Structure 1
Amino acid sequence: MAWTGPTETPVSARIATLTPSLQPSERRVVDTIAADLAAAVECTAQELANRVGVGRASVIRTAKSLGYDGFPQMRVALARELSFLPSRSDDDNSVGLLRGTIEKFGHSLPRLTEALTEEAVTDFVAALHEARRVVIVAAGLSAPLGLDAAMRLSSAGRPAEFLQDSLAQQIAAGSLEPDSVCLVISGSGATKDSLAAASTARAAGAKVLVMTSFARAPLVALADAVMVIPPVSESFPDELLHTSRAALALVIESLVQVLLVYRGDRGREAREAALSLVEKRLKA
């Protein structure tokens, strides 16, 4: 018997309703899930199968019996259900929640550079330094990062262009030449507009630099140089619910500092000029 009720019914409720009618291997799967929803949502289908002691096919069959197209869809439903459970924090006031979020991010900081190599960072910085022209592409949740990167690069004496409109970004990318760079910033690495702009830049002969959170993202295949910055989320539900770009923002800021050092006297002169302008503005 498979689920035929409302699509919004939580996983735990479906389990409670259908367990008696499930096959023995499926009952073992749902018993494991029901015992610890938080642990189950962090598992792949194979990992859950190993935990239960059944084959991967049993896990997939269970997901379908519960009314989902497959295990990935059930996993998202589990994450949604968990997001509505009451907080278990001992400090649920506003400051406590704020502190907890920041501390969680702080704990993730050491892993932000774990996927980077000296060659990848050097190639990235050298390309930015040598490019005659830099166009930045960033859409969706990554769009604010595009503006931030353009401002920081410009203050380092490396002028960069960022247009808010995604079509305008693609048009600008298509106007690049072989001695130019298209810098694509995308947390998911799969945003349709960013992929289109990257492809357009490649077709124009420009070098494509990609900053993303996932090593196997579609954008990676279009890149001449890649910096992979792992997401700060510690769990699958966190990544779905928050899709933070804080890690990318921090790395962009740090990358500009590396660029300043790489540019030597030109970098120092650019920084001094920027600081002088700020000083004049403050005196006005």
Structure 2
Amino acid sequence: MVSSPPPSTGSLFATIRATLPTLIPSERRVAEACLLRPDEVVEWSAAQLAAAAEVSAATVVRACQSMGFRGFQQLRMAFAREAGAAGARPNVREPGPEDPPEQILDTVFEVAAAVLADSLAALDRSRLGPAVDLLDRAQRVLVVGNGGSSPVAQDAALRLMSGGRPAEAPLDAQTQQVAANSLTPADACLVISSSGVNELTARTAEIARGRGASIILITSYAAGPLTGLADVSLVVGVPHWPLGSDLLSGRLGSMLLIMTLQLAMTLRRQSAPGMSAEQLRELLNGMLINPRPSDERPA
């Protein structure tokens, strides 16, 4: 029987959605029914939830345990707490064509703040230390991300390099695979895939695994092809919010998680070679083209 505490208020949807790939089809129907009809779960019995999901009552109990609850009663209590917390959340609605840009701006930032507040629900914090260890020991870090995860991979490589870690993040999938084939057991591959099922990313991770490199995975789901390849998996959950929150939580949550890993390494290696934050700012500022004084402009 699961003895872990239930998800904290405000993180219930993220926790359940992160477990979806780990559930068998009948259990997944229970989880999806809970996500689609959260207000009703509070009033339902186990038999009513079973009827809504078209499964047996025994399957409901197993599904609750698979999602991290002791049973149906603890699940129902968690939804009751979530309903109470919902009143304190911003009343966010999908923006319409009649809304002015200022209102749309406020909505987007309100949703982003709520997404970030919920996105840590599925993260196993005990895995942060091992992830930092692997990245810190690596002689070279290959950062891999495709599709929506590609910009996150580029940002990650820059952050790792600013902390003194040799890192690269090829944009092209074939180049990623070639780079992975040159890795050694002394290297690490940081894999970023919100879905956890991107085929191009999985192929590169398989090559890196075959070369003996360590694999650190950042994803939004607790299971998938990439999870089985990883030495350490860091799950940034997908909250239940509007405005394409899957994309918001996948990118923003991953970027902040990478910032955490990089900062932890930097603080650990303060005496090691590498640019400080101030030195990095000076370098970037020096890349800007300073305008000429007006009297030096060409005629």
TM category (shorter chain) comes to 0.5 to 0.7
- 1:42 alignment partner in structure 2: 36
Unmatched segments (≥5 aa) in structure 1: 1-38, 59-85
Query: Structure 1, residues 172-222: CA drift from partner, whole Å, max 9, x if none?
Result: 111100010011001001100111111111111111110001111221111
- 1:197 alignment partner in structure 2: 204
SS at match of 1:114: coil
Distance 1:267 1:253, change over 3 A: farther
RMSD (CA atoms)? 3.3
- Structure possessing the higher relative contact order (Cα contacts under 8 Å, 6 or more residues apart): 2
User: How far apart, in 2, do the equivalents of 1:244 and 1:208 lie?
Assistant: 19
Superposition pairs for residues 90-239 of structure 1, below 5 Å? 92-234=99-241, 238=244
Count of aligned residue pairs for this structure pair: 216
SS at match of 1:210: strand
- 1:80 alignment partner in structure 2: none
User: How far apart, in 2, do the equivalents of 1:240 and 1:127 lie?
Assistant: 28
Normalising by structure 2, report the TM-score: 0.62
Q: CA deviation at 1:50?
A: 5.9
SS at match of 2:212: coil
Normalising by structure 1, report the TM-score: 0.65
User: How far apart, in 1, do the equivalents of 2:109 and 2:193 lie?
Assistant: 22
SS at match of 1:100: helix
User: How far apart, in 1, do the equivalents of 2:248 and 2:116 lie?
Assistant: 17
User: How far apart, in 1, do the equivalents of 2:283 and 2:204 lie?
Assistant: 33
Asked if 1:259 is matched to 2:265, the reply is yes
User: How far apart, in 1, do the equivalents of 2:217 and 2:252 lie?
Assistant: 17
Aligned-pair identity in percent equals 31
User: How far apart, in 2, do the equivalents of 1:150 and 1:241 lie?
Assistant: 20
User: How far apart, in 2, do the equivalents of 1:188 and 1:198 lie?
Assistant: 14
Q: Whose helix proportion is higher, 1 or 2?
A: 1
Query: Structure 1, residues 254-275: CA drift from partner, whole Å, max 9, x if none?
Result: 3222221122322775445423
- 1:54 alignment partner in structure 2: 51
User: How far apart, in 2, do the equivalents of 1:240 and 1:128 lie?
Assistant: 27
Asked if 1:247 is matched to 2:237, the reply is no
User: How far apart, in 1, do the equivalents of 2:49 and 2:217 lie?
Assistant: 40
Look up the equivalent residue of 1:254 and give its one-letter code.
T
Contact 1:233/1:244 (CA < 8 Å) preserved in 2? no
Look up the equivalent residue of 2:51 and give its one-letter code.
V
Q: CA deviation at 1:243?
A: 7.5
Distance 1:276 1:254, change over 3 A: same
User: How far apart, in 1, do the equivalents of 2:228 and 2:166 lie?
Assistant: 26
User: How far apart, in 1, do the equivalents of 2:251 and 2:289 lie?
Assistant: 34
SS at match of 1:108: helix
Distance 1:40 1:216, change over 3 A: closer
User: How far apart, in 2, do the equivalents of 1:242 and 1:275 lie?
Assistant: 27
